[in-house]
Amino acid sequence: MELYFLGTGAGMPSKQRNVTSIALNLLDERGTYWLFDCGEGTQHQIMHSPVKLGRTEILFVTHLHGDHLYGLPGLLTSRSYVGGDTPLKMFGPKGLKRFVETALEVSGAHLGYTLTIEELDEEGVIFEDDKFIVETARLEHRIECFGYRITEKDLPGKLMMDKLKELGVPAGPLYGKLKQGEQVELPDGRKLDGQDFVGAPLPGRVVVILGDTRYCEGAKRLARGADVLVHEATFSQAKQDLAYAFDHATSIDAARVAEEAGAKSLIMTHLSSRYQGDDVEELLLEAKAIHGDSYIAKDLWSFEIHRKMS
């Protein structure tokens, strides 16, 4: 599991940072990518990255400001041309469906795959399968905006092979049944309970990706105990008044959310173009003073989320 930052700027693209988009690499877990937001130029950024557009499975939109969705029409149509023939699902605020359908209709675009768009009405669980749960909560921004919490379900513990070998249990189908926690009977009549031969479950990882927001309770609720929190940091603390006026966060706001929520790693993104060179380091130092495990994302940078070992 790995985060790949396709665009890390705020408002409009600059020479150093494109507008917002993040890919979650789930190739090892499910053979796909999930995308979060799709600012203008996202498909161009993908061409300079290892991300495979044809293998995207779900696209989550946090809100409908242009720097988070103007890249959608081009990306959706290009997906057909790079082998993307599997269904694609999108989640986002009300109005997302109208925006996408209008753009595709007016341009006469044809998609070679099934596109499903689900607009969000309520907070809570919006997706669940045997491997992942995705929850959402409202944030505080000028328009309706959501954050997403991606929780990987715990993996079954490892089979205690050495213990079974000591007991003389022959390798084969019996091992598979024991790993499933079933009870088995050996050829010599002994009965074994799989629960006695499987280690503790391996805890799943939690990644939280927020849209644009002030410091708020919704962000803290989603970020609770996360392995990684991705939070906007549009401004430095010196611009706190400006951040509040435009419903954005400072680096210190982001660090406060991470620290108060007990998140392990904080990654700041959505930086104003006024911060270049040493100014970016200033943002990082502000955050680290509150939450030591903090980073600032840059375009085409990745961050691996390691599995916790119980």
Q: Specify binding-site residues for Zn(2+).
A: 63, 65, 67-68, 141, 212, 270
The DSSP annotation for 206-246 comes to: EEEE--S--S-HHHHHHHTT-SEEEEE--B-GGGHHHHHHT
Query: Which ranges of the chain would DSSP assign to H, the alpha helix?
Result: 27-30, 42-47, 66-69, 72-81, 96-106, 161-166, 173-179, 217-223, 240-245, 251-261, 278-288
How far from 302 is each of 33, 44, 68, CA to CA, in Å? 14, 17, 19
Place of tokens 């840059």: 298
Which residues are bridge partners to 92 per DSSP? 119
Q: Which residues are annotated as a binding site?
A: 63, 65, 67-68, 141, 212, 270
Taking the C-alpha atoms of residue 36 and residue 208, their distance in angstroms, rounded to an integer, is 11
Cβ atoms of 48 and 300 closer than 8 Å? yes
Taking the C-alpha atoms of residue 271 and residue 134, their distance in angstroms, rounded to an integer, is 26
Phi then psi dihedrals of residue 297, to 5 deg? -75, 155
Tokens (6 digits) for 308: 């916790």
Phi then psi dihedrals of residue 180, to 5 deg? -80, 0
First to last CA, the chain: 18
Nearest of 1, 58, 31 to residue 228 by alpha carbon: 1
Quick check: is 67 catalytic? yes
Q: Name the active-site residue from 67, 227, 253, 299.
A: 67
How far from 259 is each of 95, 136, 142, 147, CA to CA, in Å? 34, 20, 25, 17
Residues recognised as catalytic = 67
